[in-house]
Structure 1
């Protein structure tokens, strides 16, 4: 027997609800902003959380339910569907252990694949029409140049655990979409920053720069995987826009493609971020070394815009202002 531990934001009878969307990883960084975007669109969400059934304070004002369940536990997932009328799934939980921990890598990989398959299995069981699953900008590799559309060939080489796993699940999603009645949508999420994000983010400097500006201190960039340079550029999207894009993909009446770039549609360099932060905090300075010319790429969002109407609401300066204000308001991260 598998127990199901639940917290609810109100006392309303669950069966009265005709529509509920499960968000795995829904109390996390991108997940919590996706839940808020869904709530603003009038949707009620069930959040799956492996560690606790408690509703986090930053989501307590929303019509949500938090269930303590592991996506790797099929019986626990099926029990959620017996309690709630699930009609959609946004799968954001990263089941693959990263950073690397002292675990069996073969067992961990098998568990991550089983978790993804469990999501598809319960979607089929419940008659869910669409699963939106998180992929990553990393599937494009790190040497591309120019605008990257969803149709460009994806390199098969292994560079990092996360893009490797996402490539595998994208292929599985295509196969299962063709052989089941579940529509699985891959959301290739670009570099995302903002409230609740990682510090440091090992892949790009923007969060560390914003935290330094909020504290009026020198930036600590030692946590990045590689030393940052002024010209280093990435497609950066503010997390509130990322959450809204994922919500639009889940709620769109019709989607014409299996894969969508979730991005800003432009490249933002570290120098751009420093300039944007300085417009908010005039005393902020960060002298980054120059690397000379490097390939610059960004994700084309034409497909996302045409099928959902998405346009980013935050440019780099607006994102920096909102993030720094949030940090100065005494939030924990």
Structure 2
């Protein structure tokens, strides 16, 4: 029996890239090798394939719908939205119904404005390569069983309280590890540490809005507060990764701000210490280390609710409750 010829990287790339919700005119532009949309698509795809060759890459004209389709295909009760505090998600790595890993990218990122100048275009390319590396690391961790879902399943958690904090801690760890690699490979030119002030302002506004709502609509207030917490923790994990990659400290304008002193300073030393135990680069992380760091992060996240004047509890059936002090 003759051996099957190996696929070339180009052939593998073609097999693993697909388009969704794209109008014919956009597909035509992406097919033209002389145009920047095609070149950006190829660059992103090559960056991902170099780190996570088995990942399937989807460029979507309706990013939110493509992500939602994948949640629905797995029968997961998730209503996806792209808003992340002061920012918006433009790419997401997720398990597919077939058991593989999909990286969904907002195709709008491939089409540059006609009036963009050379420096802006250069920074946009670096940003896309940064995002591609970040998502590829997520896919790599999925393939190696180092993702938060695999870690959670290995922890034998039984209480709803621990389930919540372990899930959120796992997300923080995933984002930190992916951003650490992305910053080393392509430092993000579009998001400086100083932009974290926007995240702090968004958090403060959401917390105030949730407290005001808590007297009339507790369910809505709880959703708002919980979403703000999740978005803030992700943002803080990215800050920690960028500082570690650059070997720098928190800039003084942030360090002395009221938002930092209220919502970050009480957590920061423990936050950095716990995440600092994780390996840098593409090195594999031991499963026990991932469980250990997850356990260390859980009480830090719990402390955040105390800091924001909210008490949390769960009943025997896993129902969660929030009380504003």
Using CA pairs under 8 Å that are at least 6 residues apart, name the structure with larger relative contact order, 1 or 2. 1
TM-score (norm 1): 0.29
Structure in which a larger fraction of residues adopt strand = 1
TM-score (norm 2): 0.29
Structure in which a larger fraction of residues adopt helix = 2
